[in-house]
């Protein structure tokens, strides 16, 4: 077995040893070692006869890359062993966020050659002002996706891990199909409540997400709408038996959230029992089963002896 007498060069960032990892636009990536350096940034071996072009240092990376390098001693006509390291270029870990997940789409209208999984997607957003190149960014858990490969999302929820080119974890979180009924096969996605949050735990809890405001979600654009979920508006008090002729019977609605909710155009339906329907995205109208408040004459009559609401 032959061991090269010439050492492979080391990687240096801003004059300090660094074997791969994060690299920002202002950083200087260089090599340190004996002989003449030969390197590639396309994953091939610089020893390959088709590649022997001496690398110019410092190395200018415009996107994340796996760098492979060897030293060559022209006097001894000898190559060093291979040294390689992956560098992630840009603020990927700081500014790249998962902002929307369609994990269980509605079944397509039949007849169709597609199935619901064909419409699954994950949306990524750059929350910063500096451009991000996604080269070598990849998912490692939940789905195996290298921006070119394919994967699918578990309808029942699972762990999602997003890493940059150097393998540094960007996000690691779990989502659940039990968070919102309308996102589990009814055609709505889950959307981050605050994509600019600096707390990665926000992605790991129901409070950090909300249903999309539109059927099929809003991939590729910001979802500025608002979707109510069960429990946001509740009936908190009911008066069912009064001789008061001015107000008559009444129902009190309570907003349980920390935000204002516009209720213009809403109605409580007395005629059609069933489950609450999502608000109309054009009018904001929502139907809550079993009780109707007429838009023009907001007087209702409730059974003195009780009834289903």
pLDDT of residue 146: 76
Domain ranges (residues) in the chain = 10-89, 93-211, 228-309
Whether the model clears a pTM of 0.75, i.e. scores above it, the answer is: no
Convert the pLDDT of each residue in 130-157 to its tens digit: 777 777 788 888 878 776 344 455 667 7
pLDDT of residue 309: 54
With cut-offs at 50, 70 and 90, classify the pLDDT of residue 298: very low
Measure Cα distances from 13 to 23, 40, 59, 124, 151 in Å.
8, 17, 10, 29, 35
Convert the pLDDT of each residue in 32-44 to its tens digit: 988 888 898 887 8
Q: Which two tokens stand for residue 31?
A: 């090599």
Q: Is the pLDDT of residue 294 over 50?
A: no
**What proportion of the chain, given as a percentage, has pLDDT over 70?**
73
The phi, psi pair for 168, rounded to 5°, reads -70, 135
Q: Is the pLDDT of residue 303 over 60?
A: no
Across residues 114-141, what is the average pLDDT?
Answer: 85
Q: How far apart are CA 241 and CA 302, in angstroms?
A: 8
Q: How far apart are CA 69 and CA 41, in angstroms?
A: 9
Q: How far apart are CA 132 and CA 227, in angstroms?
A: 31
């Amino acid at each position: 077995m032959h061991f090269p007498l010439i050492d492979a060069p080391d990687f240096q960032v801003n004059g300090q040893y660094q074997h791969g990892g994060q690299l920002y636009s202002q950083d200087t990536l260089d090599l340190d070692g004996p002989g003449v350096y030969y390197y590639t940034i396309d994953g091939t071996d610089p020893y390959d006869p088709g590649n022997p072009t001496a690398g110019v240092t410092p190395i200018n990376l415009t996107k994340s890359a796996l760098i492979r390098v060897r030293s060559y001693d022209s006097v001894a006509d000898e190559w060093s062993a291979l040294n390689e390291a992956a560098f992630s270029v840009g603020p990927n870990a700081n500014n790249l966020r998962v902002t929307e997940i369609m994990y269980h789409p509605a079944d397509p209208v039949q007849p169709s050659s597609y199935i619901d999984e064909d419409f699954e997607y994950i949306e990524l957003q750059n929350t910063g002002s500096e451009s991000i190149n996604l080269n070598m960014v990849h998912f490692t858990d939940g789905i195996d996706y290298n921006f070119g490969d394919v994967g699918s999302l578990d309808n029942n929820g699972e762990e999602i891990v997003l890493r940059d080119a150097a393998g540094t974890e960007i996000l690691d979180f779990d989502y659940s199909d039990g968070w919102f009924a309308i996102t589990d096969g009814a055609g709505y996605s889950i959307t981050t409540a605050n994509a600019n949050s600096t707390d990665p735990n926000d992605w790991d809890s129901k409070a950090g997400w909300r249903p999309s405001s539109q059927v099929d979600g809003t991939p590729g654009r910001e979802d500025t709408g608002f979707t109510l979920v069960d429990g946001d508006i509740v009936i908190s008090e009911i008066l069912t038996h009064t001789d008061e002729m001015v107000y008559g019977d009444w129902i009190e609605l309570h907003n349980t959230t920390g935000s204002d909710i516009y209720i213009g155009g809403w109605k409580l339906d007395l005629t059609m029992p069933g489950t609450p329907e999502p608000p109309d995205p054009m009018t904001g109208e929502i139907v809550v089963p079993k009780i109707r408040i007429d838009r023009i004459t907001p007087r209702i009559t409730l059974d003195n002896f009780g009834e289903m609401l």
